[in-house]
Amino acid sequence: MEQVFDQCQQHEVRRLNFLKEALLDIKRHLNLTENQSYATIYRELERTILAANSQEDLKWFSNNHGPGMHMNWPVFEEYNPDAAAAPPKKKKPDGAPPTPSTDHVAPPGDRSSVSSYDKNQAYSTEWSDDEQPAAYSGNENGGNGNSFEDDSSTGRGVRVRALYDYEGQEQDELTFKAGDELTKTEDEDEQGWCRGRLDNGREGLYPANYVEPI
């Protein structure tokens, strides 16, 4: 009986030792302070916090965003009459209207209404004051009101037809398709832009080389 009892005691010792080692392993995994990698991270965090200097931070902010920041003081420039000249009536970013693309030329069937005389007629892009339509003389409606109001109310002007599609790039520009008809209310300016009015009443600018007189 004693021999059997001693064997049981040996099994119990192995069981207790195994349980003890397992509990110690669990403790080592749960206790992060004993992990060397975590200890390094916390030491680096502590050094970073201790390195913070409130006075240096305030000095840096003052030099970059406060009274100590660099000032770009204005420099005296000589008067230049050319630079002070009045800008043109209409100035575009690129200085000139876009060049029409032959991909959007209206098919012959869309322009069948143009007579043979109109097709052979040569139109000049330069207009003199004598060639202006009667709507711009300023004498309509008894000489009262300005010519701009007369143009808008009577709808007078030069009828033109679009040769190409044009998509307005700004709010003051018109959008039309090849073959559309509109009314030109102002002649081409020095930069190649005309002012016109669509049939729906919308007014705006468009490239002069995108249309032809009807």
Is residue 28 in some structural domain? yes
Is residue 34 in some structural domain? yes
Q: Looking at the chain, how many residues does it have?
A: 214
CA angle in degrees (0–180, nearest 5) for 143-144-150: 90
Most confident of the following: 15-19, 141-145, 146-150, 168-172: 15-19
Residues 208 and 140 in one domain: yes
Is residue 143 in some structural domain? yes
Identity of the residue numbered 201: G
Is residue 83 in some structural domain? no
For the segment 40-64, the average pLDDT, to the nearest whole number, is 89
Residues 172 and 113 in one domain: yes
Q: Are 161 and 212 in contact (CB under 8 A)?
A: yes
Those residues with Cβ within 8 angstroms of residue 189's Cβ, 6 or more apart along the chain or in another chain: 88, 89, 90
For the cut 90, the answer to whether the pLDDT of residue 33 exceeds it is: no
Residues 52 and 148 in one domain: no
Is residue 72 in some structural domain? no
pLDDT band at 145 (very low <50, low <70, confident <90, very high): very low
Identity of the residue numbered 51: A
Final residue belonging to a domain, choices 18, 41, 65: 65
Is residue 78 in some structural domain? no
pLDDT of residue 139: 46
Domain that holds residue 37: 2-65
Provide the domain count of the chain. 2
Final residue belonging to a domain, choices 65, 92, 114: 65
Tell me which of 18-22, 26-30, 87-91 is least confident: 87-91
pLDDT of residue 154: 45
pLDDT of residue 156: 72
Residues 61 and 112 in one domain: no
Residue 165, domain CATH: 2.30.30.40
DSSP-H helix ranges across the chain: 2-30, 36-51, 54-65, 116-120, 147-154
Average pLDDT over the chain, rounded to whole?
A: 76
**Predicted confidence (pLDDT) per residue in 63-85, tens digit:** 888 888 888 888 888 888 877 66
Those residues with Cβ within 8 angstroms of residue 135's Cβ, 6 or more apart along the chain or in another chain: 147, 150, 151, 154, 156, 157
Residues 47 and 146 in one domain: no
Is residue 156 in some structural domain? yes
pLDDT of residue 160: 94
Is residue 185 in some structural domain? yes
pLDDT band at 95 (very low <50, low <70, confident <90, very high): low
Q: What percent of the chain has a predicted confidence (pLDDT) above 90?
A: 33
pTM of the model: 0.32
Pull the structure tokens for residue 6: 């001693």
Final residue belonging to a domain, choices 20, 43, 65: 65
For the cut 90, the answer to whether the pLDDT of residue 161 exceeds it is: yes
Residues 134 and 195 in one domain: yes
Report the alpha-carbon distance of residue 206 to residue 183 in Å, rounded. Answer: 11
For the cut 80, the answer to whether the pLDDT of residue 174 exceeds it is: yes
pLDDT of residue 141: 46
pLDDT of residue 122: 46
For the cut 70, the answer to whether the pLDDT of residue 105 exceeds it is: no
Residues 61 and 109 in one domain: no
pLDDT of residue 99: 67
